[in-house]
Chain A
Amino acid sequence: MLQGAGAMDAAAEPTELIAAAVGGDMRAFEHLYRQFSPRVYGLCLRLTGQREAAEDCTQDSFVAAWRALAGFEQRSRFSTWLHRIAVHSVLARRRGLRIDYEVPEPATGLPDRADPAADGPPLDLERAIARLPDGARHVLVLVGLYGFSHAEAAHALGVAEGTCKAQLHRARGLLTAALGLEKS
């Protein structure tokens, strides 16, 4: 069920747009922003649990991506590469704004439901994720939601793979308890 981050987006990548952006075409890069920003913003929002921080991290991610595009050699998918930048941006900002992240805040900006007409997950799940301890939340978001492998998440977060697995187990336990779910 868990996919590697590289296989997360099954759809073909816009290779012509990517090539144009690599060549310095900012309009092509804007198109890439339109296509990829919802995923990047979603990732940043879940990782930070804070709307403003997520917006800042999204901006930082695309600025960093533009500046590094000349070195993008397409050994990985563009989306995978971009998501790694987003994780770096969140972690870098977190190091700089440590106090902000120690003060829990309602997860504003998160949708009430994935699709209100489809009996989607309740807002409580988003809130429960936002209230997880940082380490557990980061791993749950990367591995449980955005399809990173444990190895990819461990590398992105700068932790051992075993730590990553332990944090996921911890996150699942905390969420199960917070939502009153039966242990599977």
Chain B
Amino acid sequence: MKDATQKSLDELLSELPRDIVPPRHLWRGISGRLNATPRRTRPLVYALAAGVACACLASALTWAVLHGRPASPAATLAARAANFDEPRNPRYIAARDDLEIDFRERLKLLDPATRTRIEASLEVIRRAHEDIRKALASDPASPVLEQLWESTWHDELDLYDHVVRATQPAMTRT
């Protein structure tokens, strides 16, 4: 058998173990981070994405203001959903689905022009979401993309929430 000095560098490299068991139990820390519930705030550096979505929200907000239905400060479904950190969290998705059902029902109460503008806004948000998802697939470790991904989920929820709240009096009357 050769000793180390007789072996070539390639032989020595090939003998190194590729796998090394982590010396500490890291999974606990990982699962803790995955289960963490606090929602991270959006840094200013990501304001661009938020700005795009805000522009989309403008139509819904403008509509609400023009119709004299200021947003209530009460906790909403969107606020509840915002307590979930992960868009893939089943509870988050369930809350989002409930809100979307309400949103679709309330949307029918709006005049066609307003409805068209809101649906166009929603489409812009969803396109942005899909573009970011594709970018994340090729660069999954990017914190910028990760923040953008989350912000589009939240902006979609915000749009739903504004429409639901803005149409609340009309629903009450019926």
Contact = CB atoms under 8 A, between A and B. Distances in A.
Interface stretch (B11-19, B50-58, B158-166): B11-19
Contact of B140 (A41, A55, A81, A172): A81
A50 interface: no
Given A145-B13, A184-B8, A38 B20 contact: yes
B133 A38 contact: no
Nearest to A38: B19
Contact of A71 (B8, B30, B134, B141): B134
B134 A63 contact: no
B4 interface: yes
B42 to A, nearest CB: 16
B73 interface: no
B34 A63 contact: yes
A125 B12 contact: yes
Which of B13, B20, B133: most chain A CB closer than 10 A?
B20
Interface in B1-50: 1, 3-5, 7-10, 12-13, 15-24, 26-27, 29-31, 33-34
B90 A24 contact: yes
B100 interface: no
A92 B30 contact: no
Given A38-B21, A39-B18, A55-B22, A70 B88 contact: yes
B169 interface: no
B26 A37 contact: yes
Given A63-B34, A64-B141, A179 B12 contact: yes
Contacts, number: 136
A145 B16 contact: yes
Nearest to B34: A66
A148 interface: no
B140 A65 contact: yes
Interface residues of A, number: 60
A122 B16 CA distance: 9
Given A59-B30, A67-B146, A179-B9, A111 B17 contact: yes
B29 A144 contact: no
Given A55-B26, A68-B137, A121-B12, A181 B5 contact: yes
Contacts of B22: 37-38, 41, 55, 58
A64 B13 contact: no
B23 A39 contact: no
Interface of A: 1, 24, 26, 30, 33-34, 37-39, 41-43, 45, 51, 55, 58-73, 81, 84-85, 88-89, 92, 109-111, 114-115, 118-122, 124-126, 144-146, 172, 175-176, 179-181, 184
12 contacts: A67-B146, A71-B140, A109-B20, A111-B20, A118-B15, A119-B1, A120-B17, A121-B13, A121-B15, A145-B18, A181-B5, A184-B9
Interface of B: 1, 3-5, 7-10, 12-13, 15-24, 26-27, 29-31, 33-34, 86-90, 133-134, 136-137, 139-143, 146
Q: What 10 A-B pairs have minimum CB-CB distances, sorted nearest first?
A: A88-B141, A68-B140, A38-B19, A71-B137, A42-B20, A114-B17, A41-B22, A121-B15, A121-B12, A71-B136
